[in-house]
Amino acid sequence: MWAVLSLPLACLLAQAWLVPGSTLASHSPEAQAGLETLLTPTAQNKTSQTSERQWAPEEEEEREEDSPWLLAEGQQLSREASNLGFSLLRKISLKHDGNVVFSPLGLAWAMAALTLGARGHSRAQLEDLLLQAWNQTWPVVNQTRPPRLPALFKQLQESLSHNPELGLAQGSFAFIHKDFDIRETFLNLSKRYFDMECVTVDFHNTSQAKRLINHYMNQETQGKLPKLFDEINPDTKLILVDYILFKGKWLIPFDPALTEMDTFYLDKYKVVKVPMMYRSGKFASTFDKKFRCHVLKLPYRGNASMLVVLMERIGDHLTLEDYLTTDLVDTWLRNMKTRKMEVFFPKFKLDQKYKMHELLKQMGVRKIFLPWADLSDLMVTERNLKVSKVLQRATIEVDEEGTEAMAGTLLEITAYYMPPIIRVNRPFLFIIYEETSRTVLFLGRVVDPTLL
């Protein structure tokens, strides 16, 4: 156990990566989505008298063995994480109208991991963020047993990992300063629910710590993320890295020999030239009469798909984002018909970073960012902890082989006959999801496929 030298302040960073390449090796991904939490001293010395929570292992085993709720609530968890993504997309759109890509599941995973170190209202706000539909029935604080969220995410991760063709992997690291007295309970539970690996680091030697962490992450991503950190604060006490990885291959690839440069309309007046892929075959699709958009389904191997949402008129995609929900997506999927058609789809690569802490505050998660945040389950000695920021970086690359990363009649959604040719040659939205759980893995928009 390490000795505490100072009061910590938490800072979180999440990253998501999707890249093309060969088959994913076990725990050696080629695509990266990560969360990192940097703990550094606060300026205040306010102590908390909250009693330590005790969790008996036998109680944990009993809870998970008697767990039909995992199956029932796991499906709802996927919907909540997906709706969180749609809400974040709307927040991003208020300040950013360009290319977008991020992982709702990656951010949700990060927040769930943080609940293991939080108590009281700090933990309750994290749970409310992830389980908005359950606010009235979800327990605010449970001081005798582990939070249910980590168990739900573990069940979801196991369900997704049982499909090797999906090309999805997840991993977690805790880089701990040699003098940081972290709780054994947090270490044990993070290992149990998130399979977190712990590495001791001397953060006072910033250059050595930076090289060590970058070396670990470079290995994990097989060189796709050689430099995670440019700088490290010498007062850092803990860095948590949680990554989710997806490398999907199209069920029926596009033929590279048929890819040609073509026009992509940025708006009514500006165009760019992009490599446009082509494939003729049977595609599932529908048309939403209310929103005037085509919805095209491009399946991956391993029971996952990309939904491409293409508006009839250039520029209307921003309006549609205000109405995106899992219920709307479900309605699109129910109304899809499979037909023979020709599809032109652009190759693109995006690389985006967002200050998620600003968005999370707007969505009601505020306690963890305050000096009196209750993250006392991270340390043996009671100290002030707060989250200073949450960032997410996401990269997606789509080529010929694949991707490497209100219900009811009022909506007037019908599966009418689409034109035999559909050209995705103007701004569009995309949703990458796993079919069985309907979990949204990555979400975004392409406004200019020539820009990162």
DSSP state of 24: P
State the Cα–Cα distance between residues 67 and 299, nearest whole angstrom.
32
Instruction: Provide the sign of the torsion angle of the four alpha carbons 15, 19, 24, 25, taken in this order.
Output: negative
Mean of pLDDT values over 194-210: 86
| Higher pLDDT among residues 342 and 39, named by residue | 342
Tell me: pLDDT of 11 over 80.
no
Mean of pLDDT values over 127-144: 56
Tell me: pLDDT of 149 over 70.
yes
Please name the amino acid found at residue 379: M
Mean of pLDDT values over 119-142: 68
Tell me: pLDDT of 338 over 70.
yes
φ, ψ at 341 (rounded to 5°): -160, 170
- 415: alpha, beta or left, given left = phi > 0 and alpha = psi -120 to 50? beta
Tell me: pLDDT of 144 over 70.
no
Supply the pLDDT for residue 344: 95
Mean of pLDDT values over 187-212: 87
Supply the pLDDT for residue 81: 86
* Burial classification of residue 338, based on how many CB atoms lie within 10 Å of its CB (0-12 exposed, 13-18 middle, 19 or more buried): exposed
State the Cα–Cα distance between residues 173 and 435, nearest whole angstrom.
28
Supply the pLDDT for residue 383: 65
Neighbours of 393 (CB within 10 A): 21
- Going by pLDDT thresholds of 50, 70 and 90, the confidence category of residue 126 is confident
Supply the pLDDT for residue 136: 40
Mean of pLDDT values over 1-27: 33
Which of the residue ranges 8-12, 137-141, 217-221, 294-298 would you say has the lowest mean pLDDT? 8-12
SS3 for 141? coil
Supply the pLDDT for residue 417: 42
State the Cα–Cα distance between residues 12 and 235, nearest whole angstrom.
15
Tell me: pLDDT of 411 over 70.
no
Each residue's pLDDT tens digit, 386-407:
776 677 777 788 888 876 652 2
Tell me: pLDDT of 410 over 70.
no
Supply the pLDDT for residue 62: 38
Each residue's pLDDT tens digit, 34-49:
334 444 433 333 333 3
State the Cα–Cα distance between residues 324 and 320, nearest whole angstrom.
7
SS3 for 76? helix
Supply the pLDDT for residue 389: 66
Q: What CATH number should be reported for the domain whose range is 9-249+350-397?
A: 3.30.497.10
| Higher pLDDT among residues 142 and 323, named by residue | 323
| Higher pLDDT among residues 131 and 300, named by residue | 300
Each residue's pLDDT tens digit, 348-383:
988 887 888 888 889 888 888 887 778 788 777 756
Q: Which two tokens stand for residue 82?
A: 């997906």
* Domain extents in the chain: 9-249+350-397, 256-346+406-446
For all residues of the chain together, what is the average pLDDT?
A: 74
Supply the pLDDT for residue 226: 60
- Going by pLDDT thresholds of 50, 70 and 90, the confidence category of residue 130 is confident
Supply the pLDDT for residue 224: 58
Each residue's pLDDT tens digit, 47-79:
333 333 343 333 343 344 344 444 556 677 888
Q: What CATH number should be reported for the domain whose range is 256-346+406-446?
A: 2.30.39.10
- Going by pLDDT thresholds of 50, 70 and 90, the confidence category of residue 109 is confident
Supply the pLDDT for residue 135: 46
Each residue's pLDDT tens digit, 257-316:
999 999 999 988 899 999 999 999 999 999 999 999 999 999 999 889 999 999 988 888
| Higher pLDDT among residues 195 and 250, named by residue | 250
Each residue's pLDDT tens digit, 163-190:
888 877 777 777 888 877 888 888 899 8
Tell me: pLDDT of 33 over 60.
no
Supply the pLDDT for residue 317: 86
Number of H helices, E strands in the chain: 10, 18
